Amino acid sequence: MKEKIGVYICHCGGNISDYVDVEELSKMFLAEENVIISKDVMFACADSNQKAMVNDIKENNLDAIVVASCSPKLHLHTFKNVASRAGINPTNYVQVNIREQCSWPHSDKPKDATLKAAGLIRAGINRVSHSESLDNIEIQVKRAVLVVGAGVAGMKAAIDLARLGNDVYLVEKDYFVGGRIAQSEKLFMSGQKGKDIIAKLFAEVKSYANITLFTGATIEKVTGSLGNFHVDINIKPLYIQSNANPTTLKAAMNDCPITVDDEFSFGFKKRKAIYKNYDEACPDVPVVDVEALRDADEFLAKYASIFDFTQQDAVLSLHAGSVLVSTGFDSYQPKEGEYGYKTVPNVVTLPEFNKLMALSPDKLVFNNKTIKSVAFIYCVGNRQAKGENKYCSRQCCTSAIYTSIQLNENYKNITAYHLFRDIRTYGKQEILYEKSSKQGDIYIRYDEKEPPVVAQGAKAIQIKVKDFLTSKKELEVEADMLVLVTGMVARDDSKLISEKFKIPIGNDKFFNEIHPKLKPVETVIKGVYIGGACQGPKNISESVQSSLSAAAKINALLKGGTVSLDPIIARVNNDLCVWCGKCAEVCEYTAIKEVEEGDKHIARVNEAICTGCGICAPVCKPNAIEIAQYTDMEIESLIDGFMQEVTLTDKETESHEEAENETLKMKEFPQMWKNILQSIDGGKKNIPQIAEEISVDTDIVTYHVMTMNKYNVVMADGMDEKEAYYFYKRKN
């Protein structure tokens, strides 16, 4: 129970005091027995008042303060800091909002506004009198990071985290690193090959002793929380002897009699049953396709020395302080028959086409046909107003256009038709669009409502399209090949990852950040960050940017070895708790666990995970759970305070207008008013002149001069020569 409370009621320069009788209120609360100081102030937030508050607190040994002013959104931290500076725990401060909740909405009924304000302030006083001093929670954190996904985003983040001195566990589902980049060929804008970038990154990853890479590994189980995650990973075997002779390995790869369709190359070529995704794939150890090799006894016998079929899945437990999820994306897979995909020959997706181009260095031939013209249809599986994927994938326009430029560079006399909805080659990528136009690519704009119709013609694919740019003229394009420019979708296994780490998934099925602008790589799970295209469509530079920003965030978090958390969390009263499990059931953060305490089972809140959302408190039958700062005592006294009868001294006769015309009775003017008055004492001046003389922004001067004018401190005195501003002088 607080004995010495200070109450400050703000005029807000008339914003409040025009309708709420702040003077009466300040007198009223002085009568409360535990209120030592009650003042009405012109601007509570003004520096001078803040200083005065600190002095008051120190002189009178106040133990709690209440400020009745504007919304806590504006000044909660201002006054919490005042409390800190004066030596009071900031949790012993309550802000009451009498501007947005009283004077502004009830300006038509000043008396009722005052009554409501009285109730709210008394509620605040009651609440603060039961408040307790709380300190931030300190948690020990392990300086190790789990990075899920070794694509370009994951590898870049791993390298930087390692460089900053963190241990990094880099976990990759595939047997080889690089993800989609390794699968892509030449990349816009630089024209570098994906494989080369990955090889460079892999060399760098290898050079750090504090990065441990696990390939062929999946996340099995996640427990723990911020600072101390315990993650079990499952590592699939390679079935290759760890000490196998590299030359024999190579010979085996060449000799292997069994070939299957190469999924990595979209089935455009075959691969051996003992293989690497591509020749330079990292790490440099092949994988054995056990299923395919089942009957190749002769081959297996010949190279028995390199194989080890006794190997089994291994489960490893990792301990990390934080997690970066960078699992990437999937390419949209068109449905059968969507723009003739799989039903009309020579219809492929953009990633497939790029791979095909890479496999055909000199001449572009597909299905025994020399390709002389290629049509691209944009926004396939993207930007569907009524479909599943409403978003734009950002990178596909540029990617398709870059492919078209390469077509022109690699092969001679190929015509490209681009059937687009909008071209979104933002930023520097616009150069590519211009280059493509200038090389003679034909752009035809279609409307989403009337998409192109694809059919097999006698000689080529026939595409009928209504050109939006030529008054919807019906056009027919003949092309030897049709490329569907597909966008990005969330990985089909992203749901699994989301369940393991409790990362929320958005409507678009990508992982959700907390705030797209202010917390772009943080998730609602403390210590779990997202980077790259698992969050939503991104190009490579954007992916890397986001994962690096997550890396910086993680490093800042783990660097000190401890983390300081807000103390507003759930607390369990061990005596009352009977462990019914209801609280754990409703907790979305899995912050509540059952523990054994002495002879009984009770609930325990993990301080590192709890966000103080409060969902557990109302479901607790024995009322054993409460939220710090929102205890029953505080809330009930708050309600009592609000319901208490208030009587105002009778001022009915004094009308609102009269009050306005009356000269303001202030003990002392704010410093700004003094400055303004001093400036116009030398003679009449207009607002820009005052602003210049006292070097303050004209908007601020205008605000104060208007208030002073309203309270008859100054008055207008004619207009300036240009009739743009009034001159003001002091009113006597």
Partner 1 sequence: MAIVNHEFANEIIQYGAKEFKACFNCGTCTAICNLTEKNANFPRIFIRKGILGQKEEILQSKELWLCYACGDCSVNCPRQAAPGEYMAAMRRYAIAGYEPTGLTKLIFKSNPLSIVITLLLAMVLGFFLFTMKPEMEVARWIFKYLPYEIIHTMGLIIFSFTGLSMVWGMLAMIFKLRKIAPKESKTKKSFFKALSAVIAEMAMMKRYRVCDEEEDSFWLKKPLMMRPWAVHWAIMWGFIGLLIATALDFAFKDPATTYWLPSRLLGTIAGILLVYGASMAIIYRRKKITRTYQQTTLADQMLLFFLWIAGITGFWLEVAVFIDADTIVNHIVFVIHTIISMELVLLFAFSKFAHAIYRPIALFFYNKS
Residue nearer to partner 1 on the CB measure, 211 or 485: 485
CB of 364 to partner 1, least distance (A): 17
Residues in contact with 294: Cβ distance below 8 Å, sequence separation at least 6, in sequence order: none
Residue nearer to partner 1 on the CB measure, 361 or 440: 440
Distance CA 377, CA 466 (A): 13
Residue nearer to partner 1 on the CB measure, 434 or 692: 434
E strands of 106-227, at which residues? Answer: 137-140, 144-148, 167-171, 211-214, 217-225
CB of 459 to partner 1, least distance (A): 12
Contact 130, 552 (CB under 8 A): no
Residue nearer to partner 1 on the CB measure, 442 or 586: 442
Rg, the chain, Cα only: 35
CB of 441 to partner 1, least distance (A): 8
**Cα separations (Å) of 291 from 156, 215, 259?**
34, 20, 12
Distance CA 577, CA 298 (A): 68
Distance CA 242, CA 234 (A): 18
What does the block give as tokens for 455?
């059919």
Distance CA 357, CA 369 (A): 14
Contact 714, 707 (CB under 8 A): no
Question: 261 pairs with which residues across the strands?
Answer: 270
Q: Exposed e or buried b for every residue in 53-69, given b needs 16+ CB within 10 A?
A: bbebbeeeebbbbbbbb
Residue nearer to partner 1 on the CB measure, 304 or 431: 431
CB of 463 to partner 1, least distance (A): 9
Residue nearer to partner 1 on the CB measure, 423 or 620: 423
Distance CA 30, CA 36 (A): 7
Residue nearer to partner 1 on the CB measure, 355 or 466: 466
Distance CA 43, CA 666 (A): 12
Give me the sign of the Cα torsion angle 318, 320, 322, 328.
negative
CB of 427 to partner 1, least distance (A): 16
Residue nearer to partner 1 on the CB measure, 423 or 551: 423
- Could you give phi then psi for residue 473, rounded to 5 degrees? -65, 135
CB of 451 to partner 1, least distance (A): 16
- Residues engaged in binding partner 1 (CB under 8 A): 373, 415, 417, 423, 433-434, 437-440, 442-445, 464, 467, 469-471, 473-478
Residue nearer to partner 1 on the CB measure, 254 or 413: 413
Q: Can you tell me which residue has the tokens 């077509």?
A: 407
CB of 279 to partner 1, least distance (A): 38
Closest CA to 465 of 455, 479, 450, 480: 450
Dihedral, 55, 58, 61, 62 alpha carbons, nearest 10: 50
Residue nearer to partner 1 on the CB measure, 407 or 444: 444
CB of 444 to partner 1, least distance (A): 7
CB of 469 to partner 1, least distance (A): 5
CB of 431 to partner 1, least distance (A): 12
Contact 147, 170 (CB under 8 A): yes
